[in-house]
Amino acid sequence: MRILLVEDDRMIGESVRTSLRQDGYAVDWARDGRLAESALSTEHFDLVLLDLGLPGKDGIEVLRGIRQRKIGTPVIVITARDEIDDRIRGLDAGADDYVVKPFDLDELAARIRSTLRRSSGNAEPEIEILGVRINPATREVIRDGRPAALSAKEYAIVEALMQRPGAILSRAQLEERMYGWGEEIESNAIEVYIHGVRRKLGTDFIQNVRGVGYFIPRPDEKQ
């Protein structure tokens, strides 16, 4: 899961980024509106945290701009304490939710999870395929009734693939969901993590299409 954090306040930005990374998200941090807009036009993100008062381009303008261009990435706006107008403007401009400064990091994490759940079309918080069940809210993984201990990056791969069973994700698409800007990607990292997942969840759980990418079969496709 990859999140674009758009925030010009250095302290807030650093604490949010640190907390989200600890939760296993890949986080990119844009400090002004124009950079955010160009990143959203060219790269894939699963969610945007958007401060409204920004240099370069106002957060509301960024939001209106991406919605006009049919970019449907879920957006949580970050508004100042008493700015009820801002919250309304944000929701009217196409935001999915909002948090009010100063916000609690646990509350932010819960809003991110519920927004991601809604956007992936899963009313049920848990996803189960081929005897493996994951809970995106808690990141618990259960295989055949028993908990499996996945690292944050292994979990990111499993979640990305389980959200779209049958769809092939390329190595680059998986890397995009796992790493933020400037994070070093070790060569063969994806293969190493996939190997770890297969060891823990079964060798057939993630399948490979040579030269194309990886997928988890739809339950009805199992041979």
Per CB under 5 A, the segment of 47-55, 144-152, 153-161, 198-206 that binds Ca ion is 47-55
Size of the site for Ca ion (CB under 5 A): 3
Residue nearest to Ca ion (CB): 53
The beta-carbon contacts of 193-199 under 8 Å, at least 24 apart in sequence, are: 193/151, 193/153, 193/154, 193/157, 194/157, 196/150, 196/151, 196/154, 197/150, 197/154, 197/157, 197/158
Which of residues 51 and 159 has its CB atom nearest to Ca ion in the complex? 51
Contact call for residue 24 and Ca ion (CB under 5 A): no
Per CB under 5 A, the segment of 13-21, 52-60, 96-104, 204-212 that binds Ca ion is 52-60
Per CB under 5 A, the segment of 5-13, 23-31, 103-111, 145-153 that binds Ca ion is 5-13
Widest Cα–Cα separation across the chain? 57
The residue from 37, 46, 51, 159 that contacts Ca ion (CB under 5 A) is 51
| Smallest gap from residue 3 Cβ to Ca ion (A) | 17
Neighbours of 165 (CB within 10 A): 16
- Residue 117 main-chain phi, psi, to 5 deg: -60, -45
Instruction: Take residue 38 and report the two structure tokens written for it.
Output: 């160009």
Which of residues 20 and 150 has its CB atom nearest to Ca ion in the complex? 20
Contact call for residue 58 and Ca ion (CB under 5 A): no
CB 79 within 8 A of CB 98: yes
What is the chain's alpha carbon radius of gyration, rounded to the nearest angstrom?
Answer: 18
Determine how β-strand 127-129 pairs with β-strand 26-30: unpaired
Contact call for residue 86 and Ca ion (CB under 5 A): no
Contact call for residue 8 and Ca ion (CB under 5 A): yes
Positions in the binding site for Ca ion (CB under 5 A):
8, 51, 53
